[in-house]
Amino acid sequence: MSTEPAAGTPQNPYRVCAPADILSLIPHTLGFEPRNSLVLLALCGNRLDATLRLDLPPARGLKPGTSAAYALNACRFMASDPRADGVLLAMYTDEPWIQPAHAPYRSLIRRMAKEFGAAGIPLQDGWLVGPDTWRNYFCVRPHCCPWPGTPRQQIADSMLNTELVYRGSAYASSLENAVGESFPPPWGNHEQVAEAQERFTALVGGQWNGKAQFRGTLLLWAKATETDGAGSGSADPGSADPGLAGSGDPAPAGGSAPAVATRLREDPELAGFLLASLQDRSVRDTLLVLGAAGAQAALAGAEANGLTSRQAQPPVFPAPALPSEPLHSEPLPSEPLRGTRARGTLAPVPFAGQDTGRAEGRPTAAADFRNILVGTSPTVPDWNMLDRTYAVFRDLVPVAAGDPKAALLCLLAWIEWARGRGSRSDVFLQHALDESPGYRLALLLRELLGTGVLPDWARSRAGSWPGEPG
């Protein structure tokens, strides 16, 4: 699902004069040319508002129960906007339309029209975009809508498309290309990063879940996603795609994500350390909660779920990268060894206080942690922070290889799923499996996507990802 501001909103005050304008706006809004898709646009008076893209189900053997569930999910999302008073649709399909009175997916669209009408947001018009032509989906009068339709070139030649291109807007030719084109350029210092990764892998020796090591590693990831002078905290809430899928990549408020990524590229020691830590499943999975809810929630949840253990050796970090602000917890082993920055450093973590064991909030922290991972948390993710986390993961992809690269691609896939963009998530997972065949997390996330389940927060406009700010 994708719920981004579309034409006519204060963010994008474009004038839409004809159906070709609407159809030309859709790929600019999504970031790619949709295929095998149903795109729904909310109407708010004389304005276009939220945009929702869904993968079309297989046309052959489409069962009534499948159509009903599909229509209901789409209706719930569109009706969650109290300002909406109508819906437009655009269907992108290669299914043949041979007889004017028998449009592709006719029973599905009838069911959707029924659901929308009952919800007070009637389906007011729609179009089918085929391989070569497009035409009105509901009108079959030859004097009004000649058969078989209008050449698709008319969409590209529309006034609105011309204006958007003039303003610098562009989109990818497919979802797969949109994902591929989203990765940043290679790192010039990749050999230094690889050397640091290998060294930290050997120094930590698989002991990433020792409490001091785990906490310090988590804090370094948190710091890597911060903007200069900003903490890792507050978000500007504010769009969503169901295994089903999405829109263009976000540009978090203030343009902070590129600055975060650039800073990390200038520190190959830290980058190598972070890549090395991705080989530990507990660290890897906790990073998702870190991005969605912050360091304290991630640490408390990880400890409550038994993902950490007693620190058996001095923790290892790339000094002087570790910041001074403490998260709570136990004292560290005394007299930790120290090395040089060039060879990796064994240094203490600046956490103070005593671990209280089974703290009062531990059961709640454990449940909150798990609920975020499976998308059932009643709390909406901190989208600004999660967007910055996404930018760091994405920027590390070109310098990673093997399991760490597969881990990054899976983390990106989860964030896309959290945003409600299941189809884009699936593309990332395929990249992960291409990099590391049989990678377990990629297979598990694919099973999750296969259920068609969306995170609870992605089912309404209020909680869903705000998308690209205006």
pLDDT digits (tens, 9 = 90+) for 417-453: 999 888 899 999 999 999 999 999 999 999 988 877 8
Strand partners, 274: none
235 exposed, middle or buried (CB, 10 Å; 0-12, 13-18, 19+)? middle
Q: How far apart are CA 130 and CA 292, in angstroms?
A: 39
Q: What is the mean pLDDT of the chain?
A: 81
Q: Where are the alpha helices (DSSP H) in 14-125?
A: 19-30, 64-79, 106-118
Question: In whole angstroms, how far apart are CA 75 and each of 23, 54, 133?
Answer: 21, 12, 28
Question: In whole angstroms, how far apart are CA 283 and each of 13, 213, 217, 221, 404?
Answer: 44, 10, 8, 10, 12
Q: How far apart are CA 256 and CA 194, in angstroms?
A: 26
The pLDDT assigned to 12 comes to: 53
Long-range (24+ apart) CB contacts under 8 A made by 105-113 are: 105/38, 105/56, 105/59, 105/62, 107/62, 107/64, 107/67, 108/57, 108/62, 108/67, 108/70, 108/71, 109/137, 111/67, 111/68, 111/70, 111/71, 112/70, 112/71, 112/74, 112/75
CB 294 within 8 A of CB 385: yes
CB 456 within 8 A of CB 378: yes
Which residue, among 369, 367, 322, has the nearest Cα to 349 in the 3D structure? 322
The pLDDT assigned to 244 comes to: 30
pLDDT tens-digit readout, 70-127: 999 889 888 887 889 999 999 999 999 988 889 999 999 999 999 999 999 999 999 9
Which residue, among 130, 112, 129, has the nearest Cα to 121 in the 3D structure? 112
| pLDDT at residue 63 is higher than 80 | yes
CB 195 within 8 A of CB 248: no
Residues 6+ apart with CB under 8 A from 184: 261, 394, 395, 397, 398
Q: Which residue matches tokens 């990673």?
A: 400
